[in-house]
Amino acid sequence: MINLETPRKLAPLAKQASQVASEVFRPISRKYDRAEHEYPKELDMFAALMDGKDAGAGNAGAGAAGVRRKDKADEESNRNGSNMATVLGVIELCYGDVGLTLTLPRQGLGNSAIASVANDEQLQRFAGKWAAMAITEPEAGSDSASIRTTAVLDGDEYVLNGEKIYVTSGSRAELIVVWASLDPSKGRAAIKSFVVPRDTPGMILERLEHKLGIRASDTANFRLEDCRIPKENLLGSPEIDTEKSFAGAMQTFDNTRPLVAGMAVGLARACIDETRKRLDEAGVTVDYTRPANVQHAAAARLLALEADYEAALLLTLQAAWMADNSKPNSLQASMAKAKAGRSCVDIALGCVELCGSVGYGEDSLLEKWARDAKILDIFEGTQQIQLLVVARQLLGKSSAELR
């Protein structure tokens, strides 16, 4: 059974992440929001620190580090491993700044993809590398099964051709995990993930996107033209199994969606704490011992936003805990991502509204957080896709039966 208290062994990691958020991220948050595409050099000093945490905690870093399912746990055990550690760390870091969290060296979402499906040799070969993840294409956004990028085996190499857009940390990462099809005629079963070193000939950076939020993080568009990589860079099995192949690739999302949910939870908590502080300054105190309907309207609204936050937090912790304890969590991962993404946007906008001109101006970070929040409802699967995944699983429908 899940215990909702922070595990004792993970408490120091969460505390350290919280210190980074408050002492490093917050002071430079506005600076790199304004200086879009400028790399935050202040983060370099934390690369070695994060690596040390990962090594000391069994691949349980404080950022968006890789997570990996272990062997099946004892049914009566309660394991808190890398999934829970990473989610707790991400929540604390995003309390400081989401864009800067995504910019931490060697803490990319591609690391989660590698950790999810790589073999032991690949884990060792790619250890210590910063990996981004490239899934989205101009013709394939939320529907990952529609990917058109191809990977053709030619001797001892795969040749990749296609286009990838909205690659988070794409211009800064050392590796790009590219999703491509071995045989488009076989549909989703032929989709695999390939690790492509950033400097590989044929991996062409087209442009960096200008964005509404998370402006400290770079978002790159790539073109792959006869891009050759060793066949050993394919993650997982090269066999096309029409029953299981795509499900194996999708396991990546079961690990990364709780991470993005954790990002949303951290940002939502930042908005609530800042708003409570502003309301206190205005003489509106939230009384947690009295019903909402007998309090100031602003206090009642904040209580409703906090309830939404708590629900998102609990779903996120459940999804991470299930992964650590080898329980199928695809449904819970999508539920957590859907709830946290939507709640984060609603909470951020609600807090801006409650704080009025203070929330809308640049004297506070609330307006920035409101801009940052929307991406957390979009990437790693949009709100609508998450609800579709949840509906399919609850109703027992396939993707062909429920679109």
Q: What residue spans in the chain does CATH classification 1.20.140.10 cover? A: 245-395
Report the alpha-carbon distance of residue 134 to residue 191 in Å, rounded: 13
Report the alpha-carbon distance of residue 256 to residue 67 in Å, rounded: 8
Would you state the pLDDT for residue 70?
Answer: 52
Q: Is 362 a catalytic residue?
A: no
Q: Which residues contact 278 (CB under 8 A, 6 or more apart)?
A: 354, 355, 358, 359, 364
DSSP state of 232: G
More confident residue, 185 or 160: 160
Place of tokens 């808190």: 80
Would you state the pLDDT for residue 63?
Answer: 41
DSSP state of 379: T
Q: What is the CATH number of domain 131-235?
A: 2.40.110.10
Q: What residue spans in the chain does CATH classification 1.10.540 cover? A: 8-125
DSSP state of 97: -
pLDDT tens per residue, range 107-156:
778 888 888 788 999 999 998 899 999 999 998 877 777 899 999 999 99
Report the alpha-carbon distance of residue 279 to residue 282 in Å, rounded: 5
Strand, helix or coil for residue 234: strand
Q: What residue spans in the chain does CATH classification 2.40.110.10 cover? A: 131-235
pLDDT tens per residue, range 213-268:
999 999 999 999 999 999 999 998 888 876 655 555 567 788 889 999 999 999 99
Compute the C-alpha angle 112/323/91, nearest 5°: 65
For a pLDDT cut of 70, what percent of the chain falls above it?
Answer: 90
Q: Which residues pair with 223 in a beta bridge?
A: 163, 204
- The H or E element that residue 268 is part of is helix 245-281
Neighbours of 353 (CB within 10 A): 15
The token pair at 150 is: 């191809």
Neighbours of 402 (CB within 10 A): 12
Backbone angles phi, psi at 59, to 5 degrees: 65, 30
Report the alpha-carbon distance of residue 398 to residue 5 in Å, rounded: 37
Out of 1.10.540, 1.10.1740, 1.10.10, 3.30.70, select the CATH number for domain 8-125: 1.10.540
Mean pLDDT across the stretch 175-183? 95
Q: State the architecture of 245-395 in CATH terms.
A: Up-down Bundle (1.20)
Gyration radius of the chain's alpha carbons: 21
Would you state the pLDDT for residue 50?
Answer: 60
| C-alpha closest to that of 105 among 63, 70, 52 | 63
Lowest model confidence (mean pLDDT) among 19-28, 69-78, 287-296:
69-78
Neighbours of 1 (CB within 10 A): 5
Neighbours of 399 (CB within 10 A): 13
Residues 104 and 43 sit within 8 Å (Cβ to Cβ): yes
Would you state the pLDDT for residue 332?
Answer: 96
- The H or E element that residue 246 is part of is helix 245-281
Structure confidence at residue 333 as a pLDDT band (50, 70, 90): very high
Residue tagged active-site, from 92, 163, 367, 380: 380
Q: Which residues contact 103 (CB under 8 A, 6 or more apart)?
A: 39, 40, 43, 169, 172, 216, 217, 218
Residue type, 168: T
Would you state the pLDDT for residue 3?
Answer: 75
Mean pLDDT across the stretch 296-304? 97
The token pair at 73 is: 């746990």
The token pair at 331 is: 């449904």
pLDDT tens per residue, range 342-389:
999 999 999 999 999 999 999 999 999 999 999 999 988 899 999 999
Round to the nearest angstrom and report the end-to-end CA distance of the chain: 34
Mean pLDDT across the stretch 181-188? 89
Report the alpha-carbon distance of residue 106 to residue 119 in Å, rounded: 19
- The H or E element that residue 160 is part of is strand 157-168
Mean pLDDT across the stretch 282-290? 95
* HEC letters along 41-58: HHHCHHHHHHHHHHHHCC
Report the alpha-carbon distance of residue 375 to residue 96 in Å, rounded: 16
Residues 83 and 67 sit within 8 Å (Cβ to Cβ): yes
DSSP state of 21: I
Pairing state of beta strands 131-134 and 175-181? parallel
- Burial string for 173-211 (b: 16+ CB within 10 Å, else e) reads bbbbbbbbbbeeeeebbbbbbbbbbbebebbeeeeeeeb
Backbone angles phi, psi at 148, to 5 degrees: -110, -15
Residues 354 and 298 sit within 8 Å (Cβ to Cβ): yes
